[in-house]
């Protein structure tokens, strides 16, 4: 049995590269510590590391762009056993996710559906995969037009397309 009783290992701040300044080291510890409220969250990690309260998201983004910081995060992930192969397997599972629905008709006997595509999980896995590959922007902009969701964007785009195809009236 492991020393941590199955809990994720907390990064050892003493092993973090001396090439990083104090705030960068603190950022790495907060960002990679599963017990931290900032685990995996660049904005919270930047706040806890002492970066500007005015724009912690921007500060966190800048810190994560630092090659030394990224290599230190990768070293900690490798040390924790989080390999690229493992991440690929988890991502593949997310892309193939299924969900089973449970229904309770009036007679009270539970009825289970056939496994159905779990589209929200698949979409999130695809988004993460594209971000990791750098093929997808880290931020997205969505517009909800009077409760229509993404359909509203398509309607607006189609309307603009039709308007541009109409001949000018004089």
What confidence score (pLDDT) does residue 9 get?
Answer: 57
In a domain, 78, yes or no: yes
Give the pLDDT confidence score for residue 114 in this predicted structure.
Answer: 92
**pLDDT attached to residue 1:** 39
Indicate if 20 and 74 belong to the same structural domain.
Answer: yes
41 CA to centre of own chain = 9
C-alpha–C-alpha distance, residues 34 and 85, integer Å? 20
Task: Count how many residues are written for the chain.
Answer: 170
Query: What's the rounded Cα separation, in Å, for the pair 50 and 23?
Result: 6
Domains contained in the chain, number: 3
Flag whether 170 is in a domain.
no
pLDDT of residue 2: 43
Within the chain, which residues score under 70 in pLDDT?
Answer: 1-17, 131-170
The per-residue pLDDT for 120 is 87
Give CA–CA dist 88/86, Å, rounded: 5
In this structure, the answer to whether residues 105 and 78 fall within a common structural domain is no
> Does residue 8 sit in the same domain as residue 68?
yes
pLDDT of residue 46: 92
| Residue 57 and residue 123 in one domain | no
Residue 108: beta bridge partners? none
Query: Per the domain annotation, does 89 fall within a domain?
Result: yes
Question: Do 125 and 149 share a domain, yes or no?
Answer: no
Residue 163 burial by Cβ neighbours in a 10 Å radius (0-12, 13-18, 19+): exposed
Residue 60: domain span: 1-82
- What does the pLDDT look like over 94-122, one tens digit per residue? 889 899 999 888 888 898 999 999 888 88
Q: Is residue 28 part of a domain?
A: yes
Do 95 and 28 belong together in one domain?
no
């Amino acid at each position: 049995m492991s020393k941590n009783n199955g809990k994720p290992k907390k990064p050892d701040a003493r092993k973090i590269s001396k090439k990083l300044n104090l705030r960068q080291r603190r950022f790495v510890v907060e960002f990679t510590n599963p017990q931290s409220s900032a685990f995996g969250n660049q904005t919270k990690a930047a706040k806890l590391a002492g970066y500007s309260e005015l724009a912690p998201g921007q500060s966190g983004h800048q810190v994560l762009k630092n090659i030394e910081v990224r290599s230190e995060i990768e070293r900690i992930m490798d040390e924790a056993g989080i390999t690229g192969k493992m991440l690929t397997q988890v991502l593949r599972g997310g892309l193939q996710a299924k969900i089973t629905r449970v229904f309770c008709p009036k007679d009270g006997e539970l009825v289970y559906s056939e496994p159905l595509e779990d589209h929200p999980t698949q979409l999130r896995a695809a988004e993460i995969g594209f971000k990791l590959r750098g093929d997808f922007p880290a931020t997205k902009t969505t517009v909800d037009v009077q409760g229509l969701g993404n359909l509203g964007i398509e309607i607006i785009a189609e309307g603009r397309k039709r308007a541009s195809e109409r001949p000018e009236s004089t």
